[in-house]
Amino acid sequence: MTFQLFTKKTGSWKLWILGSWIVFISTFSWIPYSDQIICGRFGNIQFLGRLDTWVIVFLIIGAILYLNDYDQTISKRTTFSVITIFMLMTCIFGCVKYQKIKNDNPIRYYITQKNYFDTINNNGNSHTDYGIVKKRDFVFNREFLDKVPRSFKVIETRPNSLTLAFNSDNNNKVNLPFMLYNGVNYRIEVNGKNVNNFNSDQIVKVRPAIGKNIVTISAFANTVNKFTFALSIISISVVIVLLVSGFIKNRRKSRFL
C-alpha cells in the first residue's frame, strides 16, 4: 500500500494510508517532543505503542477502500472481522512481549512503609510510564529526599488512597514524595481538612501544622474515565448482541434452504 501512494492511482484510501504512516512515525521515542506536549493531553497516552492500534485501523480502512475503488468489493462483515482480528493480534502479541520482557505479573505488590521509598524512587515505577519523557535513573534526587521530614512514614495503604504521617516544627510548606499524574482527580486532606493547592511540579506540596500531621491522598476516576468505561461496556455489549443475532439469523436461514 505504501508503494501505491507514489503511483497515479487516486482515492480517499491514500489519506488513510498516509495517516497510518503519520501515526506510526509519531510512536518513535527518539522524536524530541516539547514539554507542552508531554505535560498536555497527549502525555496521558503514556505508552506511545498504544497508538499502534490506530495505525492498524487506518491501514485496514485504507486497504479496504483501495480494493473497493478497484472493483473488489468487501462486505461489511468481512471488513469488521479483518479489523477485529488484526486488533486482537496486536493486543495479544503486545501483551505477551511485554510480559516476557518486564515479567510484570509475578512481582505485583502493595505499597508499605518498608518498600515505599524504594518503590517510588525506582524509575521503572514512574518515568518509564512515559516513553516521551527523558530517561533518568531516579525519580526524586538526593537533595529532595534530604528535605523530606525524617519522621515521614506510611501508616495506611488502600487501593485508591495512601495515608502518610510526619512531624513538623513549623508551618512552612513541605514537599512530600508522591508524584501526581495528569488527568487523575486527587483529594488531599491534611489533618482531616481538604487542601486545594497541593500540586508543585507534579509533586505533592502541603502546609503542615506544628506537631504531628496526617496526610491522606485519595484518587478518583473523573467524568471522562467513567464515560469512556461506560462507552466501552456498551460497545462490547452491542457487538456481542449483533454477533449473536447475526449467527441466529444465519442459522434460521440455513434451515429453510
The answer to whether position 86 is within a domain reads yes
Q: Answer yes or no: is pLDDT of 106 > 80.
A: no
Q: Which residue shows C-alpha cell 504512516?
A: 21
Instruction: Please tell me the predicted confidence (pLDDT) of residue 37.
Output: 72
One domain, residues 187 and 215: yes
Q: CA–CA separation, 215 vs 76, rounded Å?
A: 55
Same-domain pairing of 18 and 102: yes
Handedness of CA 132, 119, 183, 176 (dihedral sign): negative
Mean pLDDT of 170-187: 86
The 10 Å Cβ neighbour count of residue 118 is: 9
The pLDDT assigned to 71 comes to 66
When mean pLDDT is compared across 51-55, 89-93, 102-106, 199-203, the lowest value belongs to 102-106
Cell of 247: 449467527
> Could you tell me if 152 and 235 lie in one domain?
no
Q: What is the mean pLDDT of residues 78-93?
A: 72
Residue 185, burial from CB neighbour count under 10 angstroms (0-12, 13-18, 19+): exposed
Fill in the amino acid letter for 54.
W
Res. 231: pLDDT tops 80: yes
Q: What are the cell numbers at 14?
A: 491514500
Domain holding 163, by residue range, is: 140-220
Give the per-residue pLDDT at 121.
65
The number of domains in the chain is: 3
Statement to judge: residues 232 and 206 lie in one domain: no
Section 170-199 average pLDDT: 87
150 in the same domain as 214: yes
Its pTM stands at: 0.51
Q: What is the pLDDT of residue 124?
A: 57
Beta strands in the chain (DSSP E): 153-158, 161-168, 174-179, 185-190, 193-195, 199-200, 203-206, 211-220
Which single residue is written with the C-alpha cell 483529594? 187
133-154: burial string, b at 16+ Cβ within 10 Å, e else: beeeeebbeeeeeeeebeebeb
The per-residue pLDDT for 137 is 55
Q: Mean pLDDT score of the chain, rounded to an integer?
A: 77
Query: For the segment 9-21, what is each residue's pLDDT rounded down to a tens digit?
Result: 778 888 888 888 8
Is the residue at 51 inside a domain? yes
Answer whether residue 236 shows pLDDT above 80: yes
